[in-house]
Structure 1
């Protein structure tokens, strides 16, 4: 490498500025993540290292950049914390609902099951069928709590929204 002013040494490997930038842009294409704090600090140090000694940048500008970055990092941490709290609250809500649904075990329940079919004209027809049975358990499928009910010797997984009636002494149809 003839011109040592246009070289960069990283981890003991010296390469031309063009090949370094090409490698960095290739890596950036595969990684769409945001600029991390280490990269920001590297940029800041590089900026300070290569500034014009006859026209140096004001220290206040560096401090302002650091303060902005620090504030951004704190906002990111708060956002991640709120996301974790939201997940925790969702889990608590589901746990409470499952606890309440557990009280339904052994009770008679009535629910509506909707099925769709196509008539001879190609139109979709929605058929509603009512079932009655006894709740035998509670389940969580895909994050949604459901009850397990038995009717006519078969076991059904019933979504909470499809339950139309709960109580003892209903007659099976």
Structure 2
């Protein structure tokens, strides 16, 4: 026998479980017994304090982006860029001659010979990621370079671009 409570958890009937039905007899059949799951709105403040802060409410979000931009950003961060587009972007935004240190360092032959293959592969993966970050830094740098000599500088736009480039440079540095 099962209860028709909408939010129910099914447990084996041979366990001692408080019944939600009107009868007080324990079930002896092999059928599962439904147990109602309590809604947290019924809990008093002392119990909610013991449980702690709801972790799903801790996350703070910023301003919404344009919906067409949002869809693309979420897709690219969860699926990644198409292989050809990724190569095209890396080829388009080459490291400037006056800013060579933004390129990732290359593991020299002596170090490569001294470390395990797993560590060499790990270093190659970090290097590949850093090359993508370099392309992003160069792209933003070119945009800022276009804006700086303008007579009517949009300082808010330059500030946003500078914040983005700083964040990406920090990612590059931390790797």
TM-score, length of structure 2 as denominator length: 0.24
Larger radius of gyration: 1
The answer to which structure has the higher helix fraction is 2
TM-score, length of structure 1 as denominator length: 0.25
